[in-house]
Amino acid sequence: MSETTGRVLQLLGLLQSRRAWTGAELADRLGVTTRSVRRDIERLRALGYPVHAGKGHGGGYRLGAGAALPPLLLDPDEAVAMAVCLRLAAGGSIAGVGESALRALSKLDQVMPARLRSQVSAVHDATVTLASHSSDTPVEPEVLMTLARACRDREHVSADYTDIRGNHTQRRLEPYQLVTTGRRWYLMAYDRDRADWRSLRLDRMSAVAARGTTFVPRDAPDAADYVGRSISSSPYRFVARVRYHAPQAVVAQRFPPASATVEADGPDACIVTAGADDPERMVLYFATVGYEFEVLEPPEVADAVRTVADRLRLASPREQT
């Protein structure tokens, strides 16, 4: 493969990975001049790729949808992820699909002609899937793809949201990152009306719509850490802090990532933060970890320790006299 051919393929991959690039950005990524970028753009056009160029503020190069689906450049991880997506789509659920799958779906969505999109929608509408008792409410594909595009393009989104208590609200959002726990999908977004960050479950979102305007990215928290903390504590009536007398690395293996946060408290202890609506069930959960622990807060959970301990003592067989 010649140097020019390799560079053109690299350029195509960049155009497929994001909505728009400036000539200077492409030149920097490819290690060439903007003049070379313009020449390579013309080579792609000669091969039938619809590369659009915008002028002025906010302009740049963008790969458009053509009359036919052009070949996609997929790395091995993305190719595998796409195969997994197809298998999951046959089962009627996209829960558990990871970041690699979302990258591949975003590339497809960006270049897919309208007639192919309508065929995909027709197949989806004509298919009924038997629900699985072991899975959560599946996410609507259009919701997932709308939010994926908005995260990629930094586009404002509006949505209706139903929280864990059944309260309905309308949200104006700046979407930053989609996060999956393997069972559910979450969106980390900046809520414009509440002037704060929020973690939102996708299966509780409806009427999701991109507004056609973009936003300037803010300094954002780490998405995985923020969503993990939100879903392990904020939706619950009681949030407990417990000190285990065992190393953080050991205790962390006993908690699913989405159920608690585990922080080191010296080399031989750690602090676990978790939430629940029933303090007695929480105490039993903490006890099954298998290491000595003490409840730091709240008092309701500390009282539940004594209640559960008394109940277990009464349940033990009495010695015969």
The predicted model gives 251-272 an average pLDDT of 86
Place of tokens 């619950």: 236
Reply yes or no on whether the pLDDT at 159 is more than 90: yes
d(CA 213, CA 122): 29
CB atoms within 10 A of CB 92: 15
**Residue with the larger pLDDT of the pair 141 and 321:** 141
On whether the pTM is more than 0.85, the answer is no
**146 neighbors 208 (Cβ within 8 angstroms):** yes
d(CA 265, CA 155): 41
CB atoms within 10 A of CB 133: 4
Mean pLDDT across the chain: 79
- DSSP classification of residue 62: E
pLDDT-derived band at 78 (thresholds 50, 70, 90) equals: low
d(CA 62, CA 240): 50
d(CA 85, CA 79): 10
pLDDT reported for residue 9 = 82
Least Cα distance to 242 among 267, 276, 271 occurs for 271
**Residue with the larger pLDDT of the pair 220 and 121:** 220
- Structure tokens belonging to residue 203: 């299966």
Reply yes or no on whether the pLDDT at 192 is more than 60: yes
Reply yes or no on whether the pLDDT at 51 is more than 50: yes
- In the chain, the amino acid numbered 80 is V
Please count the CA atoms within 13 angstroms of the CA of 226 that sit on its side-chain side: 18
Name the 3-class secondary structure at 245. coil
The 3-class secondary structure across 3-55, one letter per residue, is: HHHHHHHHHHHHHHHCCCECHHHHHHHHCCCHHHHHHHHHHHHHCCCCEEECC
d(CA 206, CA 310): 47
**186 neighbors 178 (Cβ within 8 angstroms):** yes
Reply yes or no on whether the pLDDT at 282 is more than 80: yes
pLDDT-derived band at 5 (thresholds 50, 70, 90) equals: confident
CB atoms within 10 A of CB 131: 10
Domains of the chain, each with CATH number or no CATH: 3-63 (1.10.10.10), 74-128+135-221 (no CATH), 236-315 (3.30.70)
For the chain, the farthest-separated pair of C-alpha atoms sits apart, in whole angstroms, at 97
Residue 73 CA, distance from chain mean position: 23
The predicted model gives 288-298 an average pLDDT of 91
